[in-house]
Chain A
Amino acid sequence: MNEEIIASYLAAAIRLSVPLLLAGIGILFMSRSGILNIGMEGMVLIGALSGVLGAHYSGGAGAGLLFSMAVGGCIGLLFGFLVITTGADQVVIGTALNLLGLGITTVFGRSLLGMGQEAVKVDAIPIVGIPVLRDIPFVGEALFHQNLLAYAAYLLVPVVSFLFYKTQWGLQVRAVGEHPLAADTLGVRVHRIRYLCCMIGGMLAGVAGCSISLGILNQFTENMSAGRGFIALSAVIFGKWTPSGTMAAALLFGGADALQLRFRSFGIQIPYQFMLMFPYLLTMVTLAWFSGRNRQPAATAAPYKSLANRNT
């Protein structure tokens, strides 16, 4: 198999892993603070549309990115409000968010960008190549010739790791996800941390959406997230709720996605649908295999009424 094919495959694998990684880290923030978010699909879609809208109306991918982070952050806060302050069931609200995302983006997409026949094209996020390094055989293209968001996403991983394990705030987030009452007795502001994590999760969802609409496809099409929100959840689970694990899983799933697109050219006879099933099956196996040592934060999906509120 010649070098060009492998290089292009690896580059595609990384490119396709970026939305998964970004969305996955967003889910990770929320999960570690105890919030189960199955509504990432809708949030990513909203991010994708916001990115295109921002770029279209102000002429620039950067503006689009900022706009989608702002919108995503607001959606995250809304989600937080509904499940933290109101205490509604997180699974139900997540489902509602998926529906909302699909509906709103389709409606606004059509009304603001036209009827969808002629897709509005916008500037993509610039691709930056690092000289010298990009000429390394096989991996040079893949690792050192990607768009800016890809670099940002992968650099985010050690930053997030540092945040979780080496700062006080990160410790508080982890504590809140495991045993919010214990944290509350020590003065940790449980709700505030969860809100912040929801906002961060929402912002990252926005960026993830941009990485698809501005980074890969340069346009917005209806329902373009195509299940990536759920694959990102799978990545977090498969990665055992750690930043580096999520990264490895995102790479793996990105690789699988890139592979199924190239089946015919590689001469592989497996129907592409089975490759598409791969992330989901792998997640199920992971959940089943590691049943005894499940590292999911203990307080996930349980609403918490803070002690200060109980006083009234």
Chain B
Amino acid sequence: MEPILEIRDLVKRFGGFTAIDRLSLTIRKGEIHAILGENGAGKSTLMNMLSGMLSPDEGEIRLRGEPVKFTAPGQAVSKGIGMVHQHFMLIPALTVAENVLLGMKQDRSPLFRFKKACADIRKISDAFGLDVQPERIVGELSVGQKQRVEIVKTLYRGAEFIILDEPTAVLTPAEVEDLFRVLRTLKAQGKTIIFISHKLQEVQKICDRVTVLRLGKLIGTMEMGETNPAELARMMVGREVAAPVRKSTSQGKATRLEVREVSVTENGAVRLQDVSLQIREGEILGIAGVDGNGQRELSEVLFGLRAKQSGTVLLEGKELAKPHPRKMTDLGIAYIPEDRHKEGLMLPMSIAENLISKQYRESKFSLAGIMHWRRIRSNAEELIRQFSIRATGPNHPVGQLSGGNQQKVILARELMLNPKVMVAMQPTRGMDVGAAEYVHERILQAREQGCAILLISTELEEIMALSDRISVLYKGRIVGTVDREAADLDQIGLLMAGITSSSSVAI
């Protein structure tokens, strides 16, 4: 197979930070090539340069032997490079046909002929087994369907070279299989595919060759058959992956948080169905599952951000009748939200102000409605020291901190409550390894101090590393709960796919 894409000594910097450091890589025509790496390794930056959303600072990209320079995505598209982004670039208010046709001319005519567009799209959809309905409004489609629309978009534009950025992050296991089938069909028709991921098992299943990136550098490129997951993991992380040392389990201690038969419906769709779980003092219960199976709803219900249709939640045996974020905080429930920028912080405000956003009404921070800024500042100084937050001081705007430091601010704020219960959603999302380790340490420390922790994460490795017990959430139901010692990755993977031990048929 001859090379279709060559990257030579590519460099990309953002200010003083080098995202891609002298990267050289060759992609062969007709292969499915995986780009592996952790969050922050540079995968998305690299792909954004290939697809024209970013320009490299140094280095060269050669497509079919000729050097190319992209300053806008349209140029890459015209050269046959199509990109399916992790966050879909689709317009919800318009139909599939309108989304696919946007920016293109049908037969050089300025008119937009809806019927013809639908016919053409159906042709492509059938040719590649994509099952896309052009008349539907994109906002009404499922995640998997939307992804296929994105693929159709690239094919309609004559893409020979398709880049998929973390395509399986939002798919159910069944949808992942569908996607793989589509990718194999595309490959059979001569397309070249780049598959960006951090999920080793999937990469192993579908890809021919794999390239590992770490901290913006190329670590190695190998044929899939010549390597194994352990080796790949080591290359991704740079060292042996070790589970953190934990003390003994919390046998015999009291139940701190109990959830009984909680159900949540939204717009007629069931999001949670009869969910029950218990967490004891000093225990970490990990909720595993693919994103979109009810995790967000569960955490929101527990923290009072969402109403439940039935069921009860009990804290230390007492029912929480009408949960509300403020009440939960007063009762000692800490909450680390999934999206720290949107839900966890006021970015233009200072560290000091963010640290007290749950406790500002306490008498040590305000009296008779007047804020006590000196105490608020010194509290911040203390926490900055304790949590080693890298900043110029308590007045430093939180929006200017790195992701890891921002999460430290959130952690500090929550742990300052001396919480009895902590609900942590994706606590290390988008953080580099060092910062993630710090977060894990702190969570374990809280566990030592008797906090009952509900850890919700789509990263199975994280769940396995931290949890005492693991439950799996699938389509809004708890489909299985195991102790950490007895847990088996394959079994959990099956549960995540909806296959319980009592039946071999998916739910």
Contacts and interface: CB of A to CB of B under 8 A. Distances in A.
Does a CB–CB distance below 8 Å link A and B in the complex?
yes
Interface of A: 165-172, 174-175, 178-179, 181-188, 297-298, 307-308, 310-311
A307 B112 contact: no
A166 B72 CA distance: 27
A308 B112 contact: no
A185 to B, nearest CB: 5
A159 to B, nearest CB: 14
B101 interface: yes
B110 A187 contact: no
* Dominant secondary structure at the B interface: loop
A307 B75 CA distance: 12
Contacts of A187: 72-75, 77-78, 103
B136 to A, nearest CB: 16
30 contacts: A166-B112, A167-B112, A168-B101, A168-B105, A170-B112, A171-B94, A171-B98, A171-B101, A171-B102, A174-B94, A174-B98, A178-B91, A178-B93, A179-B92, A182-B90, A182-B99, A182-B102, A183-B102, A183-B103, A185-B51, A186-B74, A186-B77, A186-B102, A186-B103, A187-B74, A187-B77, A187-B78, A298-B93, A310-B54, A311-B72
Contacts of A310: 53-54
Question: Is chain A's interface secondary structure helix, strand, loop, or mixed overall?
Answer: helix
Interface centre among A166, A171, A178, by most B CB within 10 Å? A171
Given A175-B91, A187-B77, A298-B93, A311 B71 contact: yes
A172 B74 CA distance: 14
Contacts of A183: 91, 102-103
Contacts of B83: 185
A280 to B, nearest CB: 27
A311 B89 contact: no
A188 B54 CA distance: 16
B141 interface: no
A46 B51 CA distance: 45
Nearest to A179: B91
Given A168-B105, A172-B102, A178-B94, A185 B111 contact: no
A65 to B, nearest CB: 27
Most chain A beta-carbon neighbours within 10 Å: one of B92, B99, B112: B112
Interface string B104-116: 1110001111000
A172 B104 CA distance: 10
Nearest to B48: A307
B255 interface: no
B111 A167 contact: yes
Interface string B60-73: 00000000000111
B89 A182 contact: yes
Nearest to A306: B72
Contact of A181 (B52, B54, B72, B89): B89
B278 interface: no
A108 to B, nearest CB: 39
Contact of B94 (A168, A175, A181, A184): A175
Interface of B: 51-55, 71-75, 77-78, 83, 85, 89-94, 98-99, 101-106, 110-113, 153
Contacts of B98: 171, 174-175
B110 A167 contact: yes
A311 B74 CA distance: 14
A179 B52 CA distance: 19
A185 B72 CA distance: 8
Contacts of B85: 185
A184 B51 CA distance: 12
Given A181-B89, A183-B102, A307 B110 contact: no
Given A298-B92, A307-B73, A310-B54, 19 more contacts: A165-B112, A168-B104, A168-B106, A170-B112, A171-B112, A172-B102, A175-B94, A178-B92, A178-B93, A179-B89, A179-B91, A183-B91, A186-B104, A188-B102, A298-B93, A308-B71, A308-B72, A311-B54, A311-B72
A297 B92 CA distance: 11
Contact of A168 (B71, B77, B93, B112): B112
A167 B117 CA distance: 12
Residue of A168, A178, A308 with most chain B CB atoms under a 10 A cut-off: A168
Contacts of B73: 184-187, 307
B233 to A, nearest CB: 33
A307 B94 contact: no
B110 A185 contact: no
B134 to A, nearest CB: 14
B257 to A, nearest CB: 35
Contacts of A169: 110
B96 to A, nearest CB: 13
